[in-house]
Structure 1
Amino acid sequence: MSSSRKGSVRIKGMHCATCVDAVRESMESLEGVDDISVNLATEKATFRFDPDRISMEDIANAVRSTGYDIARDESTLTIGGMHCATCALTIKESLEEVPGVKEAKVNFALGKATVDYDSTLASRSMLAAAVEKAGYKVLEIEGVMAERLARKAELNAVMRDLIIALAFVIPVASITMTYSFWSDLMTTDIRNYILLILAAPVQFFAGFRYYKGAYRAILNKRANMDTLVVLGTSSAFIYSLIVTLSPELVSTPDVYFDTSAVIITLVLAGKYLELRSRGSTSEAIMKLMDLQPSTAVTIRDGAETQVSIDEIKEGDLVLVKPGERMPIDGIVQSGRSSVDESMVTGESIPQEKVEGAEVIGGTVNISGMLKVKATRVGRNTTLAQIVKLVEDAQSSKAPIERYADKIAGYFVPAVLIVAVSTFIFWYYVGSGIWDVGDALSFSLTTFVAVLVIACPCALGLATPTAIVVGTGRGAQLGVLIKDADALETAGKLTTLIFDKTGTLTVGEPKVVKLVLGDAHDERELLYHAGSAERGSEHVLSGAVIEAAREAGIVLDEPETSTVVTGEGVTSIVKGVTIHVGNRRMAARLMSTPSKLDQSITQMEDEGMTVMVCIAQDKMLGAIGVADTLKAGTEEVVRTLTDMGLKVVMLTGDNERTARAIAARAGIQEFRAQLLPKDKASAIRSYQEAGEIVAMVGDGINDAPALAQADIGIAIGSGTDIALESGNIVLVRDDLKGVSTAIRLSRRTFRKIRENLFWALIYNTASIPIAAGILYPFTDWLLSPMIAAGAMAFSSVSVVANASLLRRFRP
């Protein structure tokens, strides 16, 4: 295989040596492939292959035929040169033409493309080449610096062109407006030549970006905003040029150099303001990125050394002085301080940190010096995961945006048809019915006005800018919205379902009451129950074990333990079979004495969860465990109810306990005695009744219910955030985040509707006015210069309206 090349594929789904053998054998059966090595640890296969005899796609298909999959890569490209939604659509189609690309999502507002592709068939360089072939630039610097440099460069370029345009357009406008006062000093022909000389730099230098964009669109067989601007201004300029060079060809010597120059200047001004506004929309994510320091002081062999954060490894000891930011997630080894976590979690009150406490990267050490052992570094830190999640959310598309994209795809061709039709109508029909003066001049004015007043940018920016600002503001408040779908669905919720333990309650239940049955004393009851519960990981088990230890009781390790789903645990301790569980388990095993039964009922009415302990066919007694409601639970429930949401509680507790806790929380509707699978079924029943349901849980014990709900809201705490759980993740263990998430989603979606309404109404109303629909009734015709100003204002207003979300307060 003299022409062989080295190749590799990442394989998903391998679990053991048998899997490795299956993959290797599938590749060995191929002609032109040898030197095969399959590594289970790295989930990667390396080999040599002859590209003249076999392709990488054939090799990938051979792996897939064995039941395994080829891992896909995701790459984000920062792109320069996009001017409107059509540009984004062009780039998307160009990327998706690359072999191996599954999906490309292009965000015009962010200037980014996120590409999901098969690394065996495509590479980042191939993606970049596809973008550049379409006529756009890929900025190779990644991260926050790339965005800032890209925005600054584009902003400076537009400002330069705007200054040039203003330098020439001011004298052009002055001469045009005042010529009638001093026309005896200069002939019309000379004036026209002067205007030509002044307007040409505006048209072809300051406006070159639009010619370049229009040419790029033609190469891609498309029409975009640049096409409209170039056609409109070029028509006015070329007509004026003909009048200037050959005035005998037209009936009047009127020129429109001022029109073309002013239009380009106004469009540039609008673009400058739009870029400034768009820069502020992603301010939140940039602030999050800035939280990560670039260097840190590590302690190695007793010596302090300043290193790049990229050099820090898990287990390293890091010294953090007062005023510095935590470079990593970690555990305090020594020192005492208060830490400001507001920028990461939204918690405004500084948190005390002592030995053993967890700290989050990006937070600020306020008062004392801390030595921190790194537990998560680089991309694994909480901050890095939050930034990635927000970036993904900002790059996603809401369902409503997909409709807007479809409209944008047909928008510019439709405007071109309307513009040409308008010219033909007024020149051949309208001028014969109404007094329009010079037919060619009038028709040209309507043609140009239609082209420049149409604004595809407003349509393209309406949704993504609101999503970028909304998700960014959410991140600042400790609410991580994973994608635009979740944002849109959360804005339409009708029912909110809470899990009880650990969500509505603190999640740290304690034994509050013991009732004796056949046990001689409380110590005997706690010994048997505590020893049996050592075989269970349930949160209530921990409460019983802790109560036994506090009483000074030495517990024994069970020889065997069996968890009985929905009932409790059965363990054998020193040869004695012990059952600890709820009423259901007790009723199955033996009858409960009436006096003890009455005590159990009373405890349940008081909101306790009751566990019965049975050993050697004797009912030793009952243990009442209570978990306090989280602070502010009643207020949050009241707020959600006032928002028009139905609030429901689901719990595995019995009916009496559930009713007592629901009453304390202010919840009217609840379902009790539910197994984990029953909770998912309960949610399904609400959905079948037409409700749009959100489930709030801890993201760990509630996975089936969170997955079943239309929106899963997972509550985390500090570094213990289940970022992979739910559609919305609350960084802080605070139920107020639930109402914040829903209110922010509603507000964001309202901004999206407002922006789309404005963009559609603006174009629907303005294009007919520009076409002269009012002229027969008012003798008034819209000036192309006013049309250009309206177009510029339209884009800016959409971005400015979305930016108001930055002022959202929970």
Structure 2
Amino acid sequence: MTQTLRLKLDGMTCASCVARAERVLTAQPGVAAARVNLADESAEVRFDSPATPETMTAALARAGYPARQVTVQLAVEGMTCASCTGRVERVLAAQPGVLEARANLAARRATITMWEGAASPEALAAQVTKAGFAATPLTSADPDARSREMAALRRDLWLAALLTAPVFVTEMGGHLIPAFHHWLMGLVPQLWLWVGQFVLATVVLALPGRRFFRKGLPALMRGAPDMNSLVAVGTLAAWSYSTVATFAAQVLPAAARAVYFEAAAVIVVLILAGRLMEARARGRAGAAIAGLVGLRPDTALLSVPEGWQELPVATIRPGARLMIRPGARVPLDGVVEEGRSAVDEAMLTGEALPVAKAPGDRLTGGTVNGTGALVMQVTEVGGDTVLSRIIAMVEEAQSAKLPVQALVDRITLWFVPAVMGLAVLTVLIWLIFGPGLAEALVAGVSVLIIACPCAMGLATPVSIMVGTGRAAELGVLFRRGEALQTLSKVRRVAFDKTGTLTEGKPVLTDLKPASPHLLRLAAAVEGASEHPLARAVVQAAEAQGLQIPPAQDFAATPGHGAEAMVEGQRVTLGAARMFPRGLGPWQVEGEGFAVQGKTPIYLAVEGKPMGVLAVADRVKPGAAPAIAALREMGVESAMITGDAQRVALAVAGEIGIAEVRAEVLPGGKVAAIESLRPGVAFVGDGINDAPALAAADVGLAIGHGTDVAIEAAEVVLMSGDPRGAATAISVSRAVMRNIRQNLVWAFGYNVALIPVAAGALVPFGGPQLSPMLAAGAMALSSVFVLTNALRLRRLRSVEGGAA
């Protein structure tokens, strides 16, 4: 059976790391696919036997990318004996990525050692709770890993900068201001200055810079150099040459006796500064997930025999009754039992207006209650809640690897070794044709430093992270990240009608003559029917406060109508075919309703036609703006529906769709999709839409639709508004445009500056790039890519055709 495992990896610094880690994973027998993401340092692996998490993580560790481990503790109530602890341990050990689970009966604790990223503490607690033991997360050994990483980078950067400042000033100050150089030489002998620079630069490399050597040199020894290897070799070369010039100058020609301690130290400072900015930007890129996780309340008011008791959400089980105070977040999914209020669902659906809630209505965990108190019954907990499923969808989409990434991977796999070879070649050429060893060293180190492929590795994943995260905030969930690239190429969107372009809830729109008495009689007959149109008639009568009389001898004729005895009279309702003797003047009224896309229901008392009712499925307010927005984006629209041709044409004419395929059976929708290719997306909500959603290039499911439809789709529109389709296309195009910009910059930067660093402009009177400038340019390249991707956070929903 195929399983999926998510891991967090250490040692990920550049695009070469991504390609190498993926190659290590896919080489393991049983691994079907592997995706590694530089932006969040994660790996997602689909595997079957004989592959195991142990063999895969061992292979990653040998390659220099060890998977991180964390220890999680759960408070577990309800354990009474050794059998209970054994059961808890078995439940936990069966979860993906769990290495060890120990339950302590006396302490009422469970301690889990697991691969970081494989499962959340909340998910583990939910599994234990399902097994019959109330569990809640206590601690995680590494809850602030990103914060500590930022703190360590900040500390190392400040230390490196303080130590480097005197080196830089004493060396470069003299080059910039000759008078300063002469003053310094008169104050301190040059050898002493060089020794002082040696001490400070050595401390910089040994302390703040040790991270490059600790990771880069072992990778070089394994024959798999990465970005750290380039930095390590470059700085070590500059430091070694300068050390020889300081303490063994006699082995060098007089013209080549110069030191580059400032270059080695400044490189460390600049790259640490770049990594700090990267870390900050990555944190902002993942803000969507953090925001969604933050919607989960930690506690809830549970109904107990003594009253209302505040308990951890993780201990609550389906069936529990919860109190939702005004202004509080709904803790879990469920149904309103008591009270009325308006609930803000904006963070889940992107809809700004609160939604009215009354007994029987659904509540979604993470939404915010308005001014009324509600009592709800819990129906889903843990990973089964809508919010948990959304988070899982967004995480999966953010770790996606788009087809465009394949070219990047092929290039970066060999990029670092090629750069190291080019650096060696540069040194050799300078030694043969240049003025000396010092210039050759400068050129070689500059090539090594400027070519670090950080920007290449970040170009695609960081755009995906920001784009899919922002889309989720707008109510558009990309279940599969690959849909981002496919959807950007869509040139035609086909819509289902009922429940997608219309409300999916028929309502009574007309009654002629406008007689409350006739409506009472009609509602009495339809009250015994289960047909959706019948329900619309009953609801209209109830809304007017009419007293609906009882009906006897009810009889329904499928496809025609129904009749019953009401107040001593036989009342008949139905389509025109229910009345073989004709309908008189009401026939014309009914046909007029049909032209408008409404369904006429004729009413007769004792066989005499007395009037006509019209029932229609109202068009959603966002349907026409959605079609207009798609037209502005150059995307054609079509309708594929099983409804009658006349009804479908009426709805299509109202919202502006020119191409209509009506009276299409569920199996025929797939054929209709095929006829609209290439570049077609389909938007639907019902079980009968699932085949079409799967057959389209991209399937978009309405969020309130069936689970079958959602599972068949690549994109979910949480709000149910058709404008979500236009928003999804707008987001996908913006993300792909952003990725292209990043890739052009990343590759163009290296293509343009590697020759400059090698000294290609020197023969033509141009400058020779110093290693310090190379380090600054390399760091700024990654920052540019990240900053450009963060612009996607400004994306807006499509409203009537404007993004």
TM-score, normalised with respect to structure 2: 0.80
Q: CA deviation at 1:786?
A: 0.5
Report if the CA contact (8 A) 2:687-2:708 is conserved.
Answer: no
Letter of the 1:648 partner, please give it. Answer: A
Report if the CA contact (8 A) 2:525-2:554 is conserved.
Answer: no
In structure 2, relative to structure 1, the CA distance for the partners of 1:82 and 1:737 (3 Å cut) is: same
| Superposed CA offset, 1:698-743 (max 9, x none) | 1433112212211111112499896424111111122222222111
Counterpart for residue 753 of structure 2: 766
Report if the CA contact (8 A) 2:455-2:781 is conserved.
Answer: yes
Q: CA deviation at 1:124?
A: 4.1
Counterpart for residue 16 of structure 2: 86
Counterpart for residue 212 of structure 1: 214
- Measure the CA separation in 2 of the matches of 1:234 and 1:342: 54
Report if the CA contact (8 A) 1:309-1:378 is conserved.
Answer: no
- Measure the CA separation in 1 of the matches of 2:478 and 2:61: 32
In structure 2, relative to structure 1, the CA distance for the partners of 1:513 and 1:160 (3 Å cut) is: closer
Aligned with 2:719 (options 732, 742, 751): 732
- Measure the CA separation in 2 of the matches of 1:509 and 1:193: 87
Report if the CA contact (8 A) 2:494-2:682 is conserved.
Answer: yes
1:284 matches 2:288: yes
1:469-508 mapped onto 2 (5 Å cutoff) = 469-508=466-505
In structure 2, relative to structure 1, the CA distance for the partners of 1:512 and 1:789 (3 Å cut) is: closer
- Measure the CA separation in 2 of the matches of 1:114 and 1:699: 31
1:257 matches 2:244: no
Counterpart for residue 66 of structure 1: none
Counterpart for residue 673 of structure 1: 663
- Measure the CA separation in 2 of the matches of 1:269 and 1:731: 40
Aligned with 1:321 (options 319, 325, 329): 325
Q: CA deviation at 1:490?
A: 1.5
Letter of the 1:711 partner, please give it. Answer: V
Counterpart for residue 6 of structure 1: none
1:783 matches 2:773: no
Counterpart for residue 100 of structure 2: none
In structure 2, relative to structure 1, the CA distance for the partners of 1:653 and 1:779 (3 Å cut) is: closer
Counterpart for residue 9 of structure 1: none
Letter of the 1:772 partner, please give it. Answer: G
88-97 or 389-398, which deviates more? 88-97
Letter of the 1:630 partner, please give it. Answer: K
Q: CA deviation at 1:794?
A: 0.4
1:158 matches 2:153: yes
Letter of the 1:494 partner, please give it. Answer: R
Aligned with 1:700 (options 687, 690, 694): 687
Residue 484 of structure 1 aligns to a residue whose secondary structure is: coil
Report if the CA contact (8 A) 1:329-1:358 is conserved.
Answer: yes
1:626 matches 2:616: yes
Report if the CA contact (8 A) 1:139-1:150 is conserved.
Answer: no
Counterpart for residue 41 of structure 1: none
Residue 9 of structure 2 aligns to a residue whose secondary structure is: strand
| Superposed CA offset, 1:57-101 (max 9, x none) | xxxxxxxxxxxxx3x332222223321122233333334455543
Unpaired runs of at least 5, structure 1: 1-69, 432-437, 563-567
In structure 2, relative to structure 1, the CA distance for the partners of 1:318 and 1:596 (3 Å cut) is: closer
- Measure the CA separation in 1 of the matches of 2:729 and 2:541: 43
1:602 matches 2:592: yes
In structure 2, relative to structure 1, the CA distance for the partners of 1:184 and 1:660 (3 Å cut) is: same
Counterpart for residue 171 of structure 1: 166
Aligned with 1:422 (options 405, 426, 440): 426
- Measure the CA separation in 2 of the matches of 1:800 and 1:148: 26
Residue 254 of structure 1 aligns to a residue whose secondary structure is: coil
195-204 or 788-797, which deviates more? 195-204
- Measure the CA separation in 2 of the matches of 1:288 and 1:665: 34
Q: CA deviation at 1:455?
A: 2.9
Counterpart for residue 109 of structure 2: none
Counterpart for residue 236 of structure 2: 234
| Superposed CA offset, 1:518-541 (max 9, x none) | xxx99999999987x64x6xx556
| Superposed CA offset, 1:560-579 (max 9, x none) | x98xxxxx5899999xxxx9
Q: CA deviation at 1:241?
A: 1.4
Residue 447 of structure 2 aligns to a residue whose secondary structure is: helix
Counterpart for residue 369 of structure 1: 373
- Measure the CA separation in 1 of the matches of 2:42 and 2:689: 35
Counterpart for residue 74 of structure 1: 4
In structure 2, relative to structure 1, the CA distance for the partners of 1:444 and 1:90 (3 Å cut) is: same
1:397-408 mapped onto 2 (5 Å cutoff) = 397-408=401-412
Q: CA deviation at 1:303?
A: 3.2
In structure 2, relative to structure 1, the CA distance for the partners of 1:285 and 1:148 (3 Å cut) is: farther
Q: CA deviation at 1:746?
A: 1.2
In structure 2, relative to structure 1, the CA distance for the partners of 1:665 and 1:779 (3 Å cut) is: closer
- Measure the CA separation in 1 of the matches of 2:718 and 2:195: 66
TM-score, normalised with respect to structure 1: 0.80
Report if the CA contact (8 A) 2:396-2:481 is conserved.
Answer: no
In structure 2, relative to structure 1, the CA distance for the partners of 1:502 and 1:134 (3 Å cut) is: same
1:112 matches 2:42: yes
In structure 2, relative to structure 1, the CA distance for the partners of 1:222 and 1:569 (3 Å cut) is: farther
Counterpart for residue 42 of structure 1: none
Q: CA deviation at 1:366?
A: 3.5
Q: CA deviation at 1:154?
A: 1.9
In structure 2, relative to structure 1, the CA distance for the partners of 1:382 and 1:97 (3 Å cut) is: same
Report if the CA contact (8 A) 2:524-2:549 is conserved.
Answer: no
Counterpart for residue 664 of structure 1: 654
Aligned with 1:651 (options 598, 620, 641): 641
Counterpart for residue 305 of structure 1: 309
1:131 matches 2:60: yes
1:182-193 mapped onto 2 (5 Å cutoff) = 182-193=184-195
- Measure the CA separation in 1 of the matches of 2:410 and 2:623: 44
- Measure the CA separation in 1 of the matches of 2:581 and 2:292: 60
In structure 2, relative to structure 1, the CA distance for the partners of 1:707 and 1:515 (3 Å cut) is: farther
Residue 724 of structure 1 aligns to a residue whose secondary structure is: helix
Counterpart for residue 702 of structure 2: 715
Q: CA deviation at 1:547?
A: 7.7
Counterpart for residue 440 of structure 1: 437
| Superposed CA offset, 1:317-360 (max 9, x none) | 11222333221111122233333222222222233333322211
Q: CA deviation at 1:622?
A: 8.7
Letter of the 2:63 partner, please give it. Answer: A
Counterpart for residue 799 of structure 1: 786
Letter of the 1:667 partner, please give it. Answer: I
The aligned length equals 706
Counterpart for residue 627 of structure 2: 637
Unpaired runs of at least 5, structure 2: 72-115, 122-139, 175-180, 566-571, 798-803
- Measure the CA separation in 2 of the matches of 1:572 and 1:708: 43
Report if the CA contact (8 A) 1:345-1:718 is conserved.
Answer: no
- Measure the CA separation in 2 of the matches of 1:556 and 1:714: 42
In structure 2, relative to structure 1, the CA distance for the partners of 1:590 and 1:98 (3 Å cut) is: farther
Counterpart for residue 672 of structure 2: 682
- Measure the CA separation in 2 of the matches of 1:217 and 1:612: 81
